[in-house]
Amino acid sequence: MSGNEQDSAGGLQPSGQRQAASIVSGAAGRHPSEVILVAGGAGFLGLHLCRRLLSQGHRIICLDNFLTGSCEAAMRLQEEPKFSLIRHDIIEPLPSGLRPTQIYNLACAASPPRYQIDPVHTLRTCVQGAFNLLELARSSGARILQASTSEIYGDPQEHPQREDYHGNVNPVGIRSCYDEGKRCAETLFSDYARRHGVKVRIARIFNTYGPGMAPDDGRVVSTFISQALAGEALTVYGDGSQTRSLCYVDDMIEGLIRLMNSPDSVQRPVNLGNTEEVSILEIAQRVCRLARQEPRFDFRPLPADDPALRRPDIGLAWRCLGWKPTVAFDDGLKETYAYFQREQARA
């Protein structure tokens, strides 16, 4: 048999044939209740998810191409006996021998500057990557959760955004590789459920922040905190009146796990996010207050297609999952700021 072969715990042993994947680390372990493949497991959400699932006793196979994920952080998890790490880009055929019982698809750069670096690769990740993982779900019988996004609503004309709103998306703009890619992935997931009976879950993830964000990932919270800690002016795009609703990472992980383990009646998209809506200028002011600095802003042009408003309606998540966020933005921002301070002191 060529390619990687399944070990007794559902992970991989290298047999040196398959070119697309290379094992960064692997470990044998007892059979847990679930064997969970986390695609994009070395990213911001992925690492938090892997840690939480490990703490619940599951066996984790983390797949990542390390385009934006942290190889170093994922390597540290190899001390956990139930964690295996495979370097792999999901747009390539998946390694053979994988037999997960659950799959989380978190594999895609999520910050606008990052996903715009190679838009064609972003689109292929969203679509071809989803296809490859859905085929694996189909052949293995695994349940599969798609990390979709509030970006599928585009620049919304309905506020707040409910799941039955179909969005206002530019198909040919600089954000389209991600927005349309994620929309297409939702279509693929829905068709695999209808045509092939694959058990799918679709989470529409709204802006999420917290400890573990990369300082240079370009997202608003990490950028503002990094700038404040460096004593720089905060780069506010436009006049800063655009809004976002920011969810603390622990809340988001709880929502994702609840959705994955929800009854099979929940196959339609579910919004996950915080309903506390703040303007970008307000975020900048709060970060300056935390840093005990006089507010200093460097106003720059608003990027094309930057949504003016964003706030989820999370009634469906509450009804189906009993889930709503528990961490107020001020508290989460404090935690995140403290994390960045500690990281700066370590460097």
Known catalytic residue: 192? no
- Residue 7 or 277: the one with the smaller Cβ distance to ligand UDP is 277
Q: Which of the ranges 11-19, 139-147, 219-227, 313-321 carries the binding residues for ligand UDP, by CB under 6 A?
A: 219-227
Q: Give residue 28's region: left, alpha or beta (phi > 0; psi -120 to 50).
A: beta
Q: What is the bridge-based pairing of β-strands 102-105 and 35-39?
A: parallel
Contact map string, positions 296 to 335, toward ligand UDP, x by CB under 6 A? -------x--x-----------------------------
| 271 interacts with ligand UDP by CB under 6 A | no
In 197-279, which residue ranges form alpha helices assigned H by DSSP? 220-229, 249-260
Distance CA 334, CA 55 (A): 25
Smallest gap, in angstroms, from Cβ of residue 93 to ligand UDP? Answer: 30
Give the one residue of 14, 112, 119, 167 binding ligand UDP; rule: CB under 6 A. Answer: 112
H-helix or E-strand spanning residue 318: helix 315-321
Q: Which of 19, 24, 63 minimizes the C-alpha distance to 43?
A: 63
Smallest gap, in angstroms, from Cβ of residue 181 to ligand UDP? Answer: 14
DSSP secondary structure letter of residue 158:
S
Q: Give residue 10's region: left, alpha or beta (phi > 0; psi -120 to 50).
A: left
Helix, strand, coil % in the chain, rounded to nearest 5: 35, 20, 45
Smallest gap, in angstroms, from Cβ of residue 337 to ligand UDP? Answer: 16
| 276 interacts with ligand UDP by CB under 6 A | no
| 223 interacts with ligand UDP by CB under 6 A | yes
Give the one residue of 4, 65, 242, 271 binding ligand UDP; rule: CB under 6 A. Answer: 242
> What are the CA-CA distances from residue 162 to residues 3, 195, 249 (Å)?
44, 26, 21
| 205 interacts with ligand UDP by CB under 6 A | no
- Residue 35 or 67: the one with the smaller Cβ distance to ligand UDP is 67
H-helix or E-strand spanning residue 272: strand 269-272
- Residue 146 or 227: the one with the smaller Cβ distance to ligand UDP is 227
* Candidate list 104, 115, 153, 178, residue with the active-site label: 178
User: Which residues are designated catalytic?
Assistant: 178
Binding site for ligand UDP (CB under 6 A): 111-112, 207, 218-220, 223, 235-237, 242, 244, 280, 303, 306
